[in-house]
Amino acid sequence: MDAGARNAALSALLLGLFAMVGTGLVALTHALTRERIAASERAVLERALHAVMPPWRHDNDLLADRIAVTDPELLGTRRPVTVYRARRGGRPVGVVLTPEAPDGYNGRIRLIVGIYADGTLAGVRVLAHQETPGLGDAIEAEKSDWILGFTGKSLGKPPLERWRVRRDGGDFDQFTGATITPRAVVKAVRNALIYFRHHREALFAAPASGEGEEEAS
Amino acid sequence: MSVPAVHPFHGGLVLEGHKRISTRHPVVPARLPERLVVPLQQHIGAPAEPVVQVGERVLKGQPIARPRGYVSAAVHAPSSGTVAAIEARPVPHPSGLAAPCIVIETDGEERWRWREDQRPDWRTLGPEALRERVREAGIVGMGGAGFPTHVKLNPGAGRAIHTLVINGAECEPYITCDDMLMREHAPAVVAGAQVMQRILGARRILIGIESDKPEAREALSEAVRAAGADDIRVVSVPARYPSGGERQLIHLLTGLEVPSEGLPADIGVVCQNAATAAAVLRAVTELEPLISRIVTVTGAGVAEPRNLEVLVGTPFADVIDQAGGYTDEAVRLIVGGPMMGFAVAHDEVPVTKTVNCLLVAGRGEVEPARDPLPCIRCGACVEACPARLLPQQLYWYARAKDFDRVQDYRLFDCIECGCCAAVCPSRIPLVDYYRYAKSEIWALEREREKAARARRRHEARLARLERERAEREARQRARRERATDAAARKAAVAEALARAGARRSGSAEARRHEGSEGG
Amino acid sequence: MSEYLLILVSTVLVNNFVLVKFLGLCPFMGVSRKVETATGMGLATTFVLTLSSVCSYLVSEYLLEPLGLEYLRTIAFILVIAVVVQLTEVIVHKTSPLLYNVLGIFLPLITTNCAVLGVALLNAQTEHGLVESALYGFGAAVGFSLVLALFAAVRERLAAADVPVPFQGAAIALVTAGLMSLAFMGFAGMVRG
Amino acid sequence: MSRWRDIAAEGLWRNNPGLVQLLGLCPLLAVTSSVVNGLGLGLATTATLVVSGLTVSAVRGLVRPEIRIPVFVLVIACTVTIIELLMSAWLHDLYKVLGIFIPLIVTNCAIMGRAEAFASRNPVPAAVLDGLMMGLGFTGVLVALGALRELAGHGTLLDHAELLLGPLGEGLRLEIIQGYRGFLVAVLPPGAFIGLGLLIALKNVIDTRRGRRSVAVPVHAHGHGSA
Amino acid sequence: MIAAVVALGAVAAVSGALLGYAAVRFRVESDPIVDQIESLLPQTQCGQCGFAGCRPYAEAIARGEADINRCPPGGEHTIRALADLLGRDPKPLDPERGAEKPPSVAVIDERLCIGCTKCIQACPVDAIVGAAKQMHTIIAAECTGCELCIPPCPVDCIHMEPVPVDLDNWRWPYPEARTENLA
Amino acid sequence: MRRFETATSPHLPPRDSVPALMRRVLYALAPGAALQAWHFGWGVVVQLLLAAALALAAEAAVLVLRRRPARRALADGSVLVTAALLALALPPYAPWWLTTVAVLSAVVLAKHLYGGLGYNPFNPAMVGYVVALIAFPRELTQWPAPHALAAPPGLDMALGLIFGGAQLPDALTAATPLDHVRTGLAMNRTLTELGAEPVMGRFGGKGWEWVAGGYLAGGLWLAWRRAIDWRIPSAFAAGLALPAMVAWGLDPDGHPSPLFHLLSGGAMLGAFFIATDPVTAATTPRGRLLYGAGAGLLTFLIRTFGGYPDGVAFAVLLMNMAAPTLDQLTRPRAFGEGR
Ligand SMILES: Cc1cc2nc3c(=O)[nH]c(=O)nc-3n(C[C@H](O)[C@H](O)[C@H](O)COP(=O)(O)O)c2cc1C
Ligand SMILES: Cc1cc2nc3c(=O)[nH]c(=O)nc-3n(C[C@H](O)[C@H](O)[C@H](O)COP(=O)(O)O)c2cc1C
Ligand SMILES: Cc1cc2nc3c(=O)[nH]c(=O)nc-3n(C[C@H](O)[C@H](O)[C@H](O)COP(=O)(O)O)c2cc1C
Ligand SMILES: Cc1cc2nc3c(=O)[nH]c(=O)nc-3n(C[C@H](O)[C@H](O)[C@H](O)CO)c2cc1C
Ligand code: SF4
Ligand code: SF4
Ligand code: SF4
Ligand code: SF4
Ligand code: FES
């Protein structure tokens, strides 16, 4: 028993010592890299946002100027959706929404949609999806240009009833052998535009929440 | 007599019998050969020990080798003559090896050892005495393995036997020796069974016969009726191989399953072959040892297939000669039937107590050399296996030499009936793999025992060396002390000197010892 | 309730830790030569994984996060795991020699099973609560044990196969694992996220 | 000196952690969908092996047996965390791609195995060299498997080199097979397993050709003379 | 930073204490694996493995210092059994250690023996009997076939003879499937 | 002394052989294959021939590389069964390179890396199919419309489609019944609506139900000839139909009928020809029941909840994986063994 206690104390001491030295080093590294890591993380977010909202169009910090909204009907998810607001000289330039397409072939497709204040699309990208590789994954900008085709479109251009894939009588291409994925994406983007049309004023007026989920990671 | 219901077993095969070809002639005794080659081991257990010398004259029926231990059997001279040699000769065994045999030059006189009339009625003898007669007669099971019959007739105190099963199934194709015996000597079979019933104290006797032997069944039923025994039943079982397997037959007749790794006696049953029963009767009534048996000689490879009563030790060549000799067809000489028998490379091999059939197969009767494909796990073997095993798994693990797994899959419940290999579309010699695995496992067992013994001896040696070293040191110490004692008695002045001297001589002694040990 | 069921189905089948997520592969390859040992390993891992995901959760929730030390997660978790493993060993040894015979030799190996640390890290990353963490760990371990046991049975069978010489041993085992993960792709899309 | 050469041969080929010891399989299979990912993780692992080898060897006299393992674990975990922080700061994109497999270097059995079997019994220089060689051997396998899968899967090599090299890597992508349709299975999980199986078979073929089969004995400093 | 050091130091100290305590409290005394390994070795005690006998070799395996393929008398079967026990892949016998030979026993040519007892001292299992200056014999049943008695004999009168195959020790041969290439 | 050949027991002449068994399977496939060719055109025939040629070539190549006698292994016919089943599972107008990849995966990867006939734990044809499905999902969804909807391509067009790199024109394609139902349900349409569409037939899909009937007939013949164990197809059908029945009973508009399940996609081919591959299935009697039932159930689950319209291939591979374990768990009680 006695031996046990002494042994325990010795082990504790030694291991504790090692831990403290090790942790000291780690903590030191952390202190030295903290800034840089934060900057890198920020850069990643900004890069995603800038893909759908060109940086030269606005002068505010998108990451700081954001709110969270909820609209299961039009934004495709019950969870709060982050909206980043772009302004130039304080005037609204556009918003970046992160809606979801709930009816992808293999589940939800998370999108990031940039819309100018006039309702034109600044850009659309896919954040995450589980569509079939080689079939539905052509919605990634890496795999094909299809998603870039949204830029410049708006609710009137093409008219609302032609916001469908070609097979359903719309203006958007589908992929050979895969209609469902593009159909879901087109519908989600269209809904995002509708949402924006309904809520534009409110979106820009709401006070920035600052804290919140960082959606674009 | 009403026929009791039979309880079918799983698997098995319906095979073409080919029995007719050898039942056309009655059984006749075979000629006495010039030379009888009598193996010392014709049974399971320890080989017998010769009690005659080369050059010695022997009489028919005289013991020439005595059992070595309980599970062993005596061997008797099948005829009178001179012992010409005691040496290794080829014996009927799948290995094709030679084994110790006593070679007797026959004199043609067939002189018996004794022909007195001390033949008491067996009904007056007690079980012990009867069993002793069976033992002295060197009787071993004639239906297959050749297990010493007196051992089987002594199931031990704890195991009361209620049923004696007489195995007249003769389920293998081609073989008809038991059939002929039962046709021609049904009363002897019945009486022999009654002797064994008495020895065992069994309540009843069940005689199982396959349905394709109506003549034998008739003869036996007649004999039972004549004997007036109402505790004997002759039961017809379906002709489905291997209904003659001990476990299968017992199940067919009684519905009981012999426990795996157990004996029939565990469930109160003893099973004996019909020929064994006849031999037992001869032993107790005529005091005649087991020196001859009926052998079926058949197949497209012999001219006149038939059954012969053959002396143990007669070379196959002589026997086949008396069945008309070979035809051009003859390609394979099989000891036993086509399902379980083994082929021998030549015919200079003697008949033993367990050789029931010489099948000289023609080209079309046997499969040419097997050229197996891999197992496709079709499961045909599973359907066929009467032991309800998974032959393909056994094969798989035996092939991989995974001897633990193969035993998990109950290798030792396999009766080597060959049903699995017979149906295998890939033509895999499955049973060979099981035999291989079994013999490896036995060999490993022997090796393990040997290793354990070697280890004990090695450890004992190390301990001995250690002890010797300790003793040596103790001796030295003792000597040193003795020297000191002696010195103490001397004058005080001499004391120191003496002690120094003693120490010097002691250490020199020790050094010398170390030197001799290091070498 | 159905949400918990979903976690289980997802971790056991759809996102099987070994075949889909690539965690715990060393024991998967190393301890799958015999079914018995594989089962033992599965049992031991299931126990440790469940327990350690709970402990990791507690350390993370009540120690690291309040202090803002998330960056020390890896170190803290691995220590917790090492201790859980060793204490399990000790307790099993003390309370049930029989169980110890079965599991004993596997326990030390679990510390370096990256599924264990992986579960802890993923729990922290996806901000699972206590019950979810435990379930997630349990599901992961069951998935691990399941494929480990099946794999071991397949490998036992391969022992007798006429595999081309260069592929004998590890190579064919990996090909087999590959075909297993091919089969597991059939579960893709079963749990919509 | 043959001892050094021996240590190198052990790590790089004869006792290669990925191909022979089958350790560290998780990262090996998980991140090798491309050459760049494989290289990145390989280098991180090598760094860990070297540093942990050095530390473990240096403190080997101090450590009591019952806490040997926890101490090694601690040393390795601290090393990995530092590397993780550094990568997160300077190679953030790669860090994101490799994800959980960077912290999981901690449980890479190869590292623990080397700490136990080699570093804890050998002087510092040998331990460092062993760590380096084991690490390079491991990296070699990661790169080879990455190359195999990337080539079969996409027909390219060194795609996304910028993740590792920054702007320098921008143009390094090699389109080896023009107009290749892609063979997705190679970059999905089954491709990882089967690819590694093929590499091991290839090594077996090479070893047989060279007239000796690999020996998978755990090496120790002594014994095991150069074969 | 201080918080980090303190917090983790505390975690580690607690762990260390637990482990240290456990190490003493629940120490495992013997190493059963050595016994298990030894029970698989053939006990020929020939030293071909490079160790002074089977036990030392077993200890070396348990310490991880020797590979499992060094015992020629045990041959393939022993390697398999060891691989099974230790969860490794079986491998061919190390050719540097010698080849698997059929079992054999030593025989002393009794006409030549001068009774020097050298062989007795060499035999690891005391399978040789005889006193000084008298003829020596080998108890065949106890001889393990280790060949250790051969070199010491000054008159070279010991030789090895393979154990003859008879019905008792005959083994059914491995059925040679055509496509066989198992080791 | 006369000498004789030696051999071991049993000595009886053979009753059955592997090549004969494989031939029987090929005959049994014929009615279904013929119906498939009738409904979907020459492509079926071309694929069958192409796959057979490739498979024989691949097997011969491997055997030569391994220095094994090639003649006998090729003559056992097993590779032709693999090729036929694979060809019948692939879309009839899949390009030649796709068929090549699938056949090589089947024959080299799934079969010969394990040592060839009898040693492979996974069904080669299904490995080939799944590799193709995962690598080239687009091509694998391109099924032609059955005869009843559009005249299938002629021989020259079939050759052009398969070897010439042409694409099946949109007018000639149609979603497979399973795909149709799956996507329809995903779009919140009801089965009543979906059933009214032209691709749907009386029980399954138009044309497809006939093909399934052909396989059923061939399969029953096989079972009657005892070339396959009745347990596997029966259990497969039960494993698929029972849960389908429950789902259908609860929500007839959201789940297709059990009959539809049985008569569409690969169900019949799977039940009688694929799940029954003796090499990769369980071998104990009870194991086979569980194996078949498991494959059926998994097929239902993957069809209903999974990402693929038909789950037969995955279900079979998953059960292949479980087969050795099933065998161990369902070892029958040996004669005389305690209960
Ligand atoms: C294995 C498999 C995966 C599929 N994955 C997708 C997908 O990710 N996205 C998609 O839109 N369609 C996918 N499909 C195709 C759909 O089932 C459906 O056929 C198609 O969307 C209908 O489009 P079509 O009318 O252009 O043929 C997949 C089909 C299969 C067989
Ligand atoms: C190795 C062995 C041991 C046996 N031991 C006994 C025994 O102790 N008592 C007994 O009555 N029968 C014993 N038997 C006999 C068997 O029960 C059986 O009757 C005999 O093997 C003949 O059966 P068979 O021809 O079907 O092989 C033994 C048989 C064998 C092979
Ligand atoms: C597959 C098989 C078939 C057998 N067929 C018979 C047979 O037909 N007749 C027979 O008497 N014994 C046959 N035996 C031997 C019996 O199992 C059993 O050993 C014998 O009846 C015991 O009697 P015994 O000791 O008097 O020989 C067969 C054994 C096996 C394994
Ligand atoms: C009844 C039966 C079904 C078979 N099914 C298949 C099959 O689904 N896939 C396949 O590749 N081979 C099949 N074969 C052929 C053969 O068994 C298969 O190629 C082996 O798996 C190759 O080792 C079958 C053979 C038979 C007798
Ligand atoms: S009958 Fe032959 S091929 Fe069929 S499973 Fe049995 S051993 Fe294998
Ligand atoms: S030989 Fe053995 S495994 Fe084969 S059928 Fe007979 S009892 Fe069953
Ligand atoms: S070689 Fe084998 S038998 Fe000889 S001493 Fe070594 S372990 Fe023992
Ligand atoms: S060593 Fe040689 S000579 Fe000396 S006793 Fe032994 S056998 Fe005789
Ligand atoms: S790296 Fe070894 S278990 Fe993951």
C129–chain E nearest CA distance, Å: 22
**What is the phi/psi pair of residue B17, to 5°?**
-75, -40
In three-state form (DSSP H/G/I as H, E/B as E, the rest C), the secondary structure along chain D is CHHHHHHHHHHHHHCCCCCCCCCCHHHHHHCCCCHHHHHHHHHHHHHHHHHHHHHHHHHCCCCCHHHHHHHHHHHHHHHHHHHHHHHHHHCHHHHHHHHHHCHHHHHCHHHHHHHHHCHHHCCHHHHHHHHHHHHHHHHHHHHHHHHHHHHHHHCEECCCCHHHHHHHHCCCCEECCCCCCCCHHHHCHHHHHHHHHHHHHHHHHHHHHCCCCCCCCCCCCCCCCCC
Chain D residues inside the 8 Å CB shell of F95: none
Of B432, B452, B461, nearest to E175 by CB-CB distance is: B432
Question: What's the confidence (pLDDT) of residue C99?
Answer: 67
AA letter at B84: A
**Closest ligand to E149 CA?**
8
Q: How confident is the model at residue C87 (pLDDT cuts 50, 70, 90)?
A: confident
Q: Is residue E60 over pLDDT 80? A: yes
AA letter at A25: L
Task: Determine which of D68, D82, D87, D183 to mutate to test the interface with A (most A C-beta atoms within 10 Å).
Answer: D82
The average pLDDT across A50-58 equals: 88
Q: How far is CA F138 from CA B200, E62, F79, in A?
A: 80, 56, 27
Q: Is the pLDDT higher at B376 or at E180?
A: B376
**Residue pointed to by tokens 């749990």:** C191
Question: What's the confidence (pLDDT) of residue B499?
Answer: 54
Superfamily of segment(s) E32-97: Electron transport complex subunit B, putative Fe-S cluster (1.10.15.40)
- Domain residue spans in chain C? 8-185
Distance from C-alpha of C181 to C-alpha of C23, rounded to nearest angstrom: 13
The average pLDDT across E58-64 equals: 82
A120-134, B9-23, F128-142, F147-161, range with the lowest pLDDT: F147-161
- Domain residue spans in chain E? 32-97, 102-164
The average pLDDT across B313-319 equals: 96
Please give the structure tokens belonging to residue F219.
């399969």
Question: What's the confidence (pLDDT) of residue B184?
Answer: 95
Indicate yes or no: CB of D66 within 8 angstroms of CB of E92: no
Please give the structure tokens belonging to residue B398.
């035996």
Q: Is residue B262 over pLDDT 50? A: yes
Q: Is the pLDDT higher at A12 or at B469?
A: B469
Distance from C-alpha of A181 to C-alpha of A107, rounded to nearest angstrom: 10
Q: Chains meeting C at 3+ CB pairs closer than 8 A?
A: A, B, D, E, F
Question: What's the confidence (pLDDT) of residue F81?
Answer: 97
Distance from C-alpha of A65 to C-alpha of A86, rounded to nearest angstrom: 8
Please give the structure tokens belonging to residue D163.
């993740």
Q: Is residue D1 over pLDDT 60? A: no
Question: What's the confidence (pLDDT) of residue B173?
Answer: 95
Chain C residues inside the 8 Å CB shell of F112: 164
Q: Tell me the CA–centroid distance for residue E46 and ligand 8, in Å.
A: 19
- Which residue's alpha carbon is at the smallest distance from atom 1 of ligand 3? B417
Distance from C-alpha of E153 to C-alpha of B322, rounded to nearest angstrom: 60
For the stretch C96-144, pLDDT in tens is 666 666 665 667 778 778 889 999 999 988 888 899 999 999 999 999 9
Q: Is residue F147 over pLDDT 90? A: no
Q: Which of B29-38, B366-375, C106-115 has the highest mean pLDDT?
A: B29-38
Distance from C-alpha of F23 to C-alpha of F14, rounded to nearest angstrom: 17
DSSP string, A47-77: HHHHHHS-GGG--S-TTTSEEEE--HHHHS-
A144–chain F nearest CA distance, Å: 15
Neighbours of F64 (CB within 10 A): 11
Distance from C-alpha of F176 to C-alpha of F206, rounded to nearest angstrom: 9
- Which residue's alpha carbon is at the smallest distance from atom 13 of ligand 2? B152
Task: Return the exposure string of C110-134: e unless at least 16 CB atoms fall within 10 Å of the residue's CB, then b.
Answer: bbbbbbbbbbbbbbbeeebeeebbb
Distance from C-alpha of B306 to C-alpha of B304, rounded to nearest angstrom: 6
Q: Strand D174-175 and strand D156-157: pairing? A: antiparallel
Distance from C-alpha of B381 to C-alpha of B367, rounded to nearest angstrom: 18
The residue to mutate among E34, E37, E40, E49, having the most atoms of ligand 7 within 8 angstroms of its beta carbon, is: E49
Indicate yes or no: CB of D67 within 8 angstroms of CB of E19: yes
B408–chain C nearest CA distance, Å: 12
Question: What's the confidence (pLDDT) of residue C37?
Answer: 83
Distance from C-alpha of B202 to C-alpha of C155, rounded to nearest angstrom: 52
The average pLDDT across E124-153 equals: 85
Atom of ligand 9 nearest to the CA of C24: 3
Size of interface B-F (CB pairs under 8 A): 175
How are strands ordered across the β-sheet holding B292-298? Answer: B28-29, B306-311, B292-298, B357-361, B332-335, B342-344
Task: Determine which of F134, F136, F138 to mutate to test the interface with A (most A C-beta atoms within 10 Å).
Answer: F138
- Which residue's alpha carbon is at the smallest distance from atom 4 of ligand 8? E116
Distance from C-alpha of E46 to C-alpha of E69, rounded to nearest angstrom: 15
Distance from C-alpha of B16 to C-alpha of B12, rounded to nearest angstrom: 13
Q: How confident is the model at residue E57 (pLDDT cuts 50, 70, 90)?
A: very high
Question: What's the confidence (pLDDT) of residue B486?
Answer: 67
B96–chain F nearest CA distance, Å: 10
The average pLDDT across F165-187 equals: 80
Q: Is the pTM of this model over 0.80?
A: yes
Atom of ligand 8 nearest to the CA of E152: 1
Is the CA virtual torsion F50, F55, F60, F65 positive or negative? positive
F127 in contact with ligand 4, CB cutoff 6 A: no
Per the document, the length of chain E is: 183
Q: Strand A91-97 and strand A81-88: pairing? A: antiparallel
Question: What's the confidence (pLDDT) of residue F183?
Answer: 79
Return the CA Rg of chain B: 31
Chain B residues inside the 8 Å CB shell of E42: 447, 451, 454
Indicate yes or no: CB of A44 within 8 angstroms of CB of D81: no
Q: Chains meeting F at 3+ CB pairs closer than 8 A?
A: A, B, C, D, E
Helix axes F78-89, F42-65, angle to 10 degrees: 140
Q: Is the pLDDT higher at B157 or at D215?
A: B157
Q: How far is CA C64 from CA A28, A37, A213, C67, E16, in A?
A: 17, 19, 20, 5, 19
DSSP character for B292?
E
Interface C:E, ≥3 CB–CB pairs < 8 Å:
yes
Beta-bridge partners for A104: A107
CA B482 to chain centre: 67
Q: Is residue A204 over pLDDT 90? A: no
Q: Is residue D76 over pLDDT 90? A: no
**Beta carbons of F137 and F130 less than 8 angstroms apart:** no
Beta-bridge partners for B148: B140
**Closest ligand to B258 CA?**
2
- Which residue's alpha carbon is at the smallest distance from atom 17 of ligand 2? B263
Domains of chain B: 20-358 (3.40.50.11540), 380-440 (no CATH)
The residue to mutate among B251, B388, B416, having the most atoms of ligand 6 within 8 angstroms of its beta carbon, is: B416
Q: How confident is the model at residue D227 (pLDDT cuts 50, 70, 90)?
A: very low
Q: How confident is the model at residue B308 (pLDDT cuts 50, 70, 90)?
A: very high
Of A14, A19, A30, nearest to D85 by CB-CB distance is: A30
Q: How confident is the model at residue D214 (pLDDT cuts 50, 70, 90)?
A: very low
The CA-based angle B342-B345-B350, given to 5 degrees, is: 75
Question: What's the confidence (pLDDT) of residue C169?
Answer: 87
Q: Is residue F86 over pLDDT 80? A: yes
Q: Tell me the CA–centroid distance for residue B77 and ligand 2, in Å.
A: 26
Q: How confident is the model at residue B516 (pLDDT cuts 50, 70, 90)?
A: very low
**Residue pointed to by tokens 């327990």:** C51
DSSP character for A136?
G
Distance from C-alpha of F59 to C-alpha of A74, rounded to nearest angstrom: 57
- Which residue's alpha carbon is at the smallest distance from atom 1 of ligand 9? D24
DSSP character for F225?
T
Q: How far is CA A198 from CA A153, A158, D39, in A?
A: 17, 19, 50
Q: Tell me the CA–centroid distance for residue B105 and ligand 8, in Å.
A: 45
AA letter at B138: G
The average pLDDT across E113-132 equals: 85
Q: Chain B within 8 Å of F332 (Cβ-Cβ)?
A: yes
For the stretch D42-53, pLDDT in tens is 999 999 999 988
AA letter at D90: W
A109-123, B10-24, B433-447, E59-73, range with the lowest pLDDT: E59-73
Q: How confident is the model at residue D221 (pLDDT cuts 50, 70, 90)?
A: very low
SS3 for F46?
Answer: helix
Interface D:A, ≥3 CB–CB pairs < 8 Å:
yes
For the stretch C26-75, pLDDT in tens is 889 888 888 888 888 888 889 889 999 999 999 999 888 888 888 888 88
- ipTM of this model? 0.87
The average pLDDT across A179-199 equals: 91
Average confidence score pLDDT of chain D: 81
Question: What's the confidence (pLDDT) of residue B489?
Answer: 63
E92–chain D nearest CA distance, Å: 10
Q: What CATH number was assigned to the domain covering residues E102-164?
A: 3.30.70.20
A190–chain C nearest CA distance, Å: 22
Phi/psi zone of residue B388: left (φ > 0), alpha (ψ -120 to 50 degrees), beta? left
Question: What's the confidence (pLDDT) of residue F214?
Answer: 95
Distance from C-alpha of B376 to C-alpha of B390, rounded to nearest angstrom: 14
B244 in contact with ligand 2, CB cutoff 6 A: no
